């Protein structure tokens, strides 16, 4: 895909295979020069250094061109600090592959996919078009994925955050999750 890299102010083609070895957050959004999208991309930009510290990378994707991406980043003040690349899926093929294409508008829907360092899809997070996503939740999910990858015998309960209790599933825990979480 043709991709705009704002830090170097250049465009080049990227392949998703090029992200192997990293956690990839593939972040689809409907279109440049819209209303909810810049709020999401700004918030994701605020989390970008944390994502990189966790061994991750972000690739934002819409059906716009790299030229539109560049103009939007230069124009929209909310996006002045966006440092991650924006891919141009102007054929819509990648959006179709990930099931986030809107056939009526030919735009991407709001979908975030977290792919592990081996290239395996681990998280699908989608919301309705008029609703912005929560970047803190994306980082929380990335932390949880990283934790269970490094601790395969453990599981993360609902709303788990780093440092909170985790679970070690076993037949003896069935019906006693409360006690496992409370240390009783």
CATH number of the domain enclosing 59: 3.40.30.10
pLDDT value for 129 = 92
Phi-psi region of 99 (alpha: psi -120 to 50; beta: other; left: phi over 0): left
pLDDT value for 181 = 87
pTM of the model: 0.94
Per DSSP, the residues of 96-162 read HHTT-EETTTTEE-EEEEEE-TTS-EEEEEEE-TTS---HHHHHHHHHHHHHHHH-TT-B--TT--T
Catalytic annotation, pick one of 1, 26, 37, 115: 37
Clarify whether residues 53 and 134 are in a common domain. yes
Q: Is the pLDDT of residue 132 over 70?
A: yes
pLDDT value for 93 = 95
- Domain extent at residue 105: 2-150
Clarify whether residues 40 and 110 are in a common domain. yes
Instruction: Return the number of other C-beta atoms located less than 10 Å from residue 137's C-beta.
Output: 12
Q: Is the pLDDT of residue 184 over 80?
A: no
Decide which of 184 and 41 is more confident.
Answer: 41
Clarify whether residues 172 and 122 are in a common domain. no
Decide which of 182 and 120 is more confident.
Answer: 120
Clarify whether residues 124 and 183 are in a common domain. no
Residues of the chain with pLDDT > 70, as a percent, come to: 99
37 is annotated as an active-site residue: yes
Clarify whether residues 73 and 135 are in a common domain. yes
pLDDT tens for 65-116 read 999 999 999 999 999 999 999 999 999 999 999 999 999 998 999 999 999 9
Clarify whether residues 15 and 61 are in a common domain. yes
């Amino acid at each position: 895909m043709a991709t705009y890299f704002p830090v170097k102010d250049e465009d080049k083609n990227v392949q998703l295979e090029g992200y192997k070895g990293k956690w990839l957050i593939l972040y689809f959004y409907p279109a440049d020069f819209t209303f909810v999208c810049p709020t999401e991309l700004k918030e994701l930009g605020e989390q970008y250094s944390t994502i990189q510290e966790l061994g991750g990378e972000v690739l934002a994707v819409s059906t716009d061109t790299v030229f539109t991406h560049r103009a939007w980043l230069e124009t929209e003040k909310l996006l002045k600090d966006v440092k991650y690349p924006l891919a141009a899926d102007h054929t819509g093929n990648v959006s179709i592959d990930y099931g986030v294409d809107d056939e009526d508008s030919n735009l991407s829907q709001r979908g975030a996919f977290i792919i592990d360092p081996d290239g395996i899809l681990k998280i699908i997070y989608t919301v309705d078009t008029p609703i912005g996503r929560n970047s803190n939740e994306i980082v929380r999910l990335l932390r949880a994925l990283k934790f269970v990858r490094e601790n395969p015998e453990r599981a993360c309960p609902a709303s788990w955050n780093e440092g909170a209790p985790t679970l070690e599933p076993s037949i003896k825990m069935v019906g006693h999750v409360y006690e496992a979480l409370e240390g009783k």
